[in-house]
């Protein structure tokens, strides 16, 4: 008996571990024998895809899902019962190494379903770096031009757009194409058209995002189209601020060419612009404005012009009376002037002229170098900045210079001639 007990207890930890392992193996065998296989397909969802990359191709579906679940739950399983994902966080994307390997995870929303295995466990994904480039806009006419119609070159709202997308696709894109149809009725094309990215052979390239994604296309269509170069007439509306006026109006280009049916062009002598307002302005006003094209005509090279309006302060004149001041008068001389005041006409802006209200002005005459006797002397008027002398009336005065303390000379009567015949 003791020997039997010793045989049982000898190396008992190893024997216990062997017993536990056998139990686990048995449980696994039982479990595997009870596991079921769901042979539907579950799409793989990429998670945390890098914002700078685009995933090329289609990910393979997960299938042959081995699971363990109660019979009533297993009977209701469908593709929506499972979720298959790959986590792309941290994936390094370069043109030299575009492929990454990712582990697939499959879970079930029902906790009573235990997923044991599935196919595939690992998939290879191709990630392409996202790039952009500028490409020209082209117009492609879909279908033949109806007989008897003339079609002019298209006028586009933009000539270039930016293409965004995977590098392997973008490097093949050569243009953004706007596809239009010329109607048999001969109606002009004037519409917003969606753009598609194409390669050198005209094949549509996807996936590509274009910015902007559409362009406004104008194509003149007619049976008797003619063109005419006309001067551009800038239309200005509104009144500038008080005290200002228009100095000049310029337009660039000053001549524009239009096209249309002969009947629509025959009476045209100029092309007006859309109005440009100068209401309340005090300086230069400039803007790009559209041409006001008459019905049945279109611009051949751009439908807008640059208008520049230069304003200046309004000018005028005022007439005032100015006293006379003698500059450089000597104390030992006397001075007599032919007049005590003159009339001065002043020019300047309306605001500057208004500011001289109540001011006293004088006209000065330089007498510092005058000798005794009578002299004609020019007058000078000093004005504030911004004002100018237009005229002085009279511009000169007569100044008589004498010696102080000397009586003024008197006129002597002329001598009487002797009587005729007197010795």
Question: Residues 309-334: pLDDT tens digits?
Answer: 999 888 888 888 888 999 999 999 99
pLDDT digits (tens, 9 = 90+) for 191-245: 899 999 999 999 999 999 999 999 999 887 766 677 889 999 999 999 999 888 9
| β-strand pairing of 122-142 with 99-108 | antiparallel
Bridge partners (DSSP) of residue 345 are 319, 391
Q: What CATH superfamily is the domain 225-313? A: YbbR-like domain (2.170.120.40)
More confident residue, 385 or 31: 385
Residue 415 has pLDDT above 60, yes or no: no
Residue 406's pLDDT is what? 62
- Two tokens at 258? 């239009």
The gap from C-alpha 155 to its chain's centroid, in whole angstroms, comes to: 20
More confident residue, 412 or 9: 9
pLDDT bucket at 170, cuts 50 / 70 / 90: very high
Distance separating alpha carbons of residues 325 and 340, to the nearest angstrom: 9
Bridge partners (DSSP) of residue 66 are 37, 117
Residue 66's pLDDT is what? 96
**110, HSE (Cβ side, Cα atoms, 13 Å):** 19
Residue 3 has pLDDT above 80, yes or no: no
| β-strand pairing of 209-211 with 160-166 | antiparallel
Q: What CATH superfamily is the domain 130-222? A: YbbR-like domain (2.170.120.40)
Distance separating alpha carbons of residues 283 and 221, to the nearest angstrom: 43
* Torsion angle of the four alpha carbons 140, 144, 146, 152, in this order, in degrees rounded to the nearest 10: 30
Class of domain 315-403 (CATH, top level): mainly beta
pLDDT bucket at 85, cuts 50 / 70 / 90: very high
Does the domain made of 36-120 have the CATH classification 2.40.50?
Answer: no
* 3-class secondary-structure state, position 116: strand
Backbone angles phi, psi at 385, to 5 degrees: -60, 135
- Two tokens at 287? 């803007």
Residue 194's pLDDT is what? 95
36-120 and 130-222 agree in CATH topology: yes
Domain spans in the chain, listed from the N-terminal domain onward: 36-120, 130-222, 225-313, 315-403
Say how many Å lie between the first and final Cα of the chain, rounded: 212
DSSP assignment of 135-199 equals EEEEEEEESPPPTT-EEPPPEES-SEEEEEEEHHHHTT--EEEEEEE--TT-PPEEEEEEEEEE-
């Amino acid at each position: 008996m003791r020997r039997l007990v010793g045989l049982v207890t000898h190396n008992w930890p190893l024997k216990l571990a062997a017993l536990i392992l056998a139990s686990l193996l048995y449980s696994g065998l039982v479990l595997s024998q009870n596991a079921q296989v769901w042979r539907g397909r579950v799409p793989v969802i990429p998670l945390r895809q890098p914002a700078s990359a685009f995933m090329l191709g289609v990910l393979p579906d997960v299938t042959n899902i081995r699971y363990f679940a109660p019979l009533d739950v297993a009977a209701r399983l469908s593709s929506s019962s499972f979720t298959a994902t790959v986590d792309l966080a941290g994936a390094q994307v370069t043109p030299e190494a575009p492929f990454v390997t990712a582990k697939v995870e499959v879970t079930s929303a029902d906790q009573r379903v235990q997923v044991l295995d599935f196919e595939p466990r690992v998939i290879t994904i191709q990630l392409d770096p996202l790039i952009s480039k500028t490409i020209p806009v082209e117009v492609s006419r879909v279908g033949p031009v109806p007989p008897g119609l003339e079609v002019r070159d298209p006028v586009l709202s933009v000539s270039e757009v930016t293409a965004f997308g995977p590098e392997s696709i973008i490097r093949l894109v050569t243009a953004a194409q706007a596809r239009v149809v010329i109607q048999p009725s001969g109606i002009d094309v004037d519409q917003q058209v969606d753009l598609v990215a194409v390669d050198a052979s005209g094949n549509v390239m996807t996936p590509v995002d274009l910015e902007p994604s559409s362009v406004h296309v104008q194509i003149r269509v007619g049976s008797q189209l003619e063109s005419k170069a006309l001067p551009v007439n800038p239309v200005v509306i509104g009144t500038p601020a008080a005290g200002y006026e228009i100095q000049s109006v310029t337009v660039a280009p000053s001549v524009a060419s239009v096209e249309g049916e002969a009947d629509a062009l025959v009476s045209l002598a100029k092309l007006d612009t859309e109005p440009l307002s100068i209401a309340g302005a005090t300086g230069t006003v400039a803007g790009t404005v559209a041409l006001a094209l008459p019905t049945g005509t279109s611009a051949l090279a751009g439908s807008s012009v640059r208008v520049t309006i230069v304003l200046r302060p309004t000018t005028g004149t005022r007439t005032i009376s100015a006293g006379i001041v003698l500059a450089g008068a000597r104390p030992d001389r006397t001075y007599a002037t032919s007049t005590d005041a003159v009339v001065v006409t002043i020019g300047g802006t309306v605001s500057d002229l208004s500011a001289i209200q109540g001011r006293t002005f004088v006209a000065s005459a330089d007498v510092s170098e005058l000798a005794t006797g009578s002299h004609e002397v020019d007058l000078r008027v000093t004005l504030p900045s911004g004002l100018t002398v237009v005229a002085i009336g009279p511009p000169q005065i007569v100044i008589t210079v004498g010696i102080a303390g000397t009586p003024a000379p008197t006129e002597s009567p002329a001598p009487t001639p002797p009587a005729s015949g007197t010795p």
